Structure 1
Amino acid sequence: MTPQQPQPQDRGPLGPAAGDAPRPRRVEGVDAARALAVFGMLTVHLGVGSLGLAGLAGEDAAEAFHGLTRGRSSALFAFLAGLSLALMTGRTVPLRGWELRRPIARILVRALALALLGGFLDLLGAPVAVILTYYAGFFLLALPMLPLGAPALAAIAAAVALAGPQLSYLIRSGMAGDDVREDSIGGIADLLLTGYYPAATFMAFVAAGMAVGRLDLHSARVRLGLAGAGAGLAALGYGGSWLLLHPLGGLDRIAADLAGEHGAAMAAPMRTWAEEQLGEMHGQVPVDSPSWLLIASPHSGTTFEAVGAVGSSLLVLAACLVAAERARAPMYPFAAAGAMALTVYAGHILVMASEGMSHMDTAPFRWELFVGTALVLCTLWRLLLGRGPLERGLGRLADAGASLVPDQEPPAARRR
């Protein structure tokens, strides 16, 4: 028999994970997809006015591009984090028992470091809902799922997508308070239910990514399956929502609930207002009408959004996996940026804070400048220095944490 060669492996959420030598090579397509996720989030943070596309192809094209990236980019980011968790804990054969302890130690260290970094970036005052602290919470919530295989993880993703938004709606209906947030995250309630990236929805993306990470991503059959499943889920989530809202009257029911005792006199203006609000969600839907749960708008936190966003994530991943193999040179800068996603993400917030930028600014080509600079700098850095600066530091911290865990099960424990 020919000895089995080590399979390529990504080394961790938001960048390379420190691991025991020898380190398997990275999955370039996963890195490329991660770069697209970060660049999509930049589109939202910098705003429509930052796009030179508006001057080249018109405002409608810029608005369409902005709408395409909003919500889906952060979902893709979480999906790829889950995928990387699976890749760093055994790939197609999940680690279990004692051999899982060192990876868990690394994940715990990463979670703490990301929480601290997210808190620091929040203090800078950039008008950005920083996702890193949420990520730390997602990693902790994902720990019990690490020993599971693809079918179980896919079932968990489906369960969270189906039940999470409905439970969130019921719980939030009984909660006092408003939705105004001064920081990106204010506590456990924000992490689970009321934040910009609530676990009630986002753990569906993480679990789905973990399920995909348990598959053979180098198999053409798997990639075709990912693309087909992605197209089907996107059609089900976004198409199903449109059908229920428009032909089947979901928007009219929202308007009727909002109009209340004012009846038909206020139904028409309330419907117009509800349509305007579809693109203004910030993590979850209002609790003044259960029909809000039928929408699939970005950051609405509904089942339809979760299903559609998982579908779009699968499509992006499948495309990037193929492109990274068939067009290695053109895709290399994207893979380099994706391998340094944490550095790029933190760096753009630092620049925005120092320059006083916001999504309301109207100076065009800022997004293209950010993306172009990131692609050039990350490519040069990777060619000359290897791992990104924040990724290198995070990897060393994770190594230090893992070194505290014995690499073998004690003999007394093995005899029991």
Structure 2
Amino acid sequence: MAQNRSDDTAAPSSGAAPARVRIDGIDAARALAVFGMFVVHLGVDSMGVLSPDDYAWDLHDITRGNSSALFAFLAGISLAMMTGRTRPVAGDELRRSTVRILARSVLIGLLGLLLDMTGVPVAVILAYYAGFFVLALPLLRLRSGALWAVAGVLAVLGPPLSLLLRGTVFPAEPRTSSLTSLTEFFLTGYYPAVTFMAFMAAGMAVGRLDLTSTAVRLRLLAAGAGAAAFGYAGSWLVLGPLGGTERLMDLRSRETLGVPLARIEDPALVEELRFAVNDEAHSISGQVPTDSWWWLGINAPHTGTTFEIAEAVGQSLMVLVVCIWLCERFRRTMYPLTSVGRMPLTVYAGHILVLAVVIAFQGYDYHTPWLLEGFLLGSLVFAVLWRATVGRGPAESVLGEAAGAAVTLVEERRRRNG
């Protein structure tokens, strides 16, 4: 285990569990989440090692949606790390932790809005991310079992509730930026809270476990495999044997051709409808359409269905366990990756700003081969050099200082008023 002090661990209060060492595998997983978003944001035409005809789309499909889900899942782990790990903080320490989290949320949200104003064609997650931290505050007292229950309820009830509300009360409107309203934040945006809070709660549940335990890791690995299998198999059952795909094809046939699917005799036209439904499913960015309940049977990334949530949480669990194992056995080799993971906010915000500069010089047709590799290599070099010479990432340092100042201010006011 890497013996580095955790930046995510709050100073223990009297009677609390002592602060523990940093788990480098969490940092490595964070780096993969950030790099996965690089892949999606820069696109397949920005790859050099791969090409659109040679596995580039496969990599894009693997990272799309799953990277942002992993990012939120790891944010939940960070929250648990900041608030007592296996022993949730209470009393004065809970109050101080709440102030720290709120201060961080405000700054992260402001940074997200500023990045959105650059006009970069990226759905910036940070404003959502800040809101997720605020929504998670009532969960800070809960232990792992209760947090898993919360994640399960959100995963099962959230998708149908979202479809019902969006279909009747809160219809989606054209998006002009990453986040413009509370409706977008909760239901209709790129990263709706009704979906992503399931990832946050699951991450908090994991963060409340003893991740240094081999038995715990094996259980998480098995649970991850099981959840991912459920996401795949459940969707296959609903869309295949239960006829979900054919129902959606029939819906699109009636809309576009004016006839039910059963009356179409041309096999080629049937396959075109099947392709259109599958393409629509994989083009969703946030939530499924509201014209059929059968959409809840898909498991494509960014769809916010129960099957997609299960699959994404399962993959996140497996990525986390594998990263922990690799970092314990190949610490030096993983050093560049963990360096990026120690400053994810800096690297994420940095890639948006650099992309804004690229667009300013080249326009929106900026996709050139090897651009992605340049962003990845640049991030790794920057993170390694900064970590070796300075330590904590610049954005992370600002957040830490601001959070500490907010706690000091609140405590001083309490003493004066007490």
Normalising by structure 2, report the TM-score: 0.90
- The C-alpha deviation readout for 1:159-199, integer Å capped at 9, x for no partner, is 00000011000000113654420110111111110000001
Partner of residue 263, structure 1: 260
Partner of residue 110, structure 2: 116
CA apart distance, 1:98: 2.3
- Aligned match of 2:405 in 390, 400, 407? 400
Question: Could you tell me how far apart the structure 2 residues matched to 1:35 and 1:359 are?
Answer: 26
CA apart distance, 1:126: 0.3
Q: What 5-or-longer segments of structure 2 have no aligned partner?
A: none
CA apart distance, 1:275: 1.4
Partner of residue 365, structure 1: 370
Partner of residue 69, structure 2: 75
CA apart distance, 1:323: 0.7
CA apart distance, 1:360: 6.5
- Aligned match of 1:228 in 199, 214, 222? 222
CA RMSD of aligned residues (A): 2.4
Contact kept? 2:42, 2:367, Cα under 8 Å: no
Task: Report the CA distance shift for 1:322/1:359 in structure 2 as closer, same or farther (over 3 A).
Answer: farther
Contact kept? 2:189, 2:286, Cα under 8 Å: yes
Question: Could you tell me how far apart the structure 1 residues matched to 2:170 and 2:216 are?
Answer: 46
- Aligned match of 2:59 in 65, 84, 102? 65
- Aligned match of 1:217 in 211, 216, 219? 211
AA paired with 2:336?
P
Question: Could you tell me how far apart the structure 2 residues matched to 1:406 and 1:210 are?
Answer: 26
Structure 1 residues 6-405: aligned runs within 5 Å: 10-12=6-8, 19=11, 24-55=20-51, 59-175=53-169, 177-260=171-254, 262-264=259-261, 265=263, 268=270, 269-356=272-359, 361-405=366-410
Question: Could you tell me how far apart the structure 2 residues matched to 1:360 and 1:235 are?
Answer: 39
Contact kept? 1:89, 1:100, Cα under 8 Å: yes
Contact kept? 1:46, 1:367, Cα under 8 Å: yes
AA paired with 2:68?
S
Single out whichever of 93-102 and 160-169 deviates more from structure 2: 93-102
For the residue of structure 1 that corresponds to 2:129, the secondary structure is helix
For the residue of structure 2 that corresponds to 1:244, the secondary structure is helix
Aligned length: 400
Question: Could you tell me how far apart the structure 2 residues matched to 1:19 and 1:162 are?
Answer: 36
Task: Report the CA distance shift for 1:381/1:243 in structure 2 as closer, same or farther (over 3 A).
Answer: same
AA paired with 1:231?
A
Contact kept? 1:96, 1:147, Cα under 8 Å: yes
Task: Report the CA distance shift for 1:249/1:137 in structure 2 as closer, same or farther (over 3 A).
Answer: same
- The C-alpha deviation readout for 1:286-329, integer Å capped at 9, x for no partner, is 01111011001110111110000000000000001111111000
Contact kept? 2:342, 2:392, Cα under 8 Å: yes
Percent identity over paired residues: 51
Task: Report the CA distance shift for 1:9/1:230 in structure 2 as closer, same or farther (over 3 A).
Answer: farther
AA paired with 1:205?
F
Question: Could you tell me how far apart the structure 2 residues matched to 1:240 and 1:360 are?
Answer: 40
AA paired with 1:218?
T
- The C-alpha deviation readout for 1:249-287, integer Å capped at 9, x for no partner, is 211111123334621357835433111112101100001
Question: Could you tell me how far apart the structure 1 residues matched to 2:407 and 2:11 are?
Answer: 9
For the residue of structure 1 that corresponds to 2:55, the secondary structure is helix
Question: Could you tell me how far apart the structure 2 residues matched to 1:97 and 1:159 are?
Answer: 28
Contact kept? 1:45, 1:358, Cα under 8 Å: no
- The C-alpha deviation readout for 1:33-66, integer Å capped at 9, x for no partner, is 00000000000000011122324xx724111111
For the residue of structure 2 that corresponds to 1:287, the secondary structure is coil
Task: Report the CA distance shift for 1:9/1:241 in structure 2 as closer, same or farther (over 3 A).
Answer: farther
Question: Could you tell me how far apart the structure 2 residues matched to 1:360 and 1:225 are?
Answer: 46
Normalising by structure 1, report the TM-score: 0.91
Question: Could you tell me how far apart the structure 2 residues matched to 1:42 and 1:377 are?
Answer: 16
CA apart distance, 1:25: 3.6
Question: Could you tell me how far apart the structure 1 residues matched to 2:11 and 2:355 are?
Answer: 33
Larger relative contact order (CA 8 Å, sep ≥ 6): 1
Contact kept? 1:294, 1:304, Cα under 8 Å: yes
Contact kept? 1:46, 1:358, Cα under 8 Å: no
For the residue of structure 1 that corresponds to 2:411, the secondary structure is coil
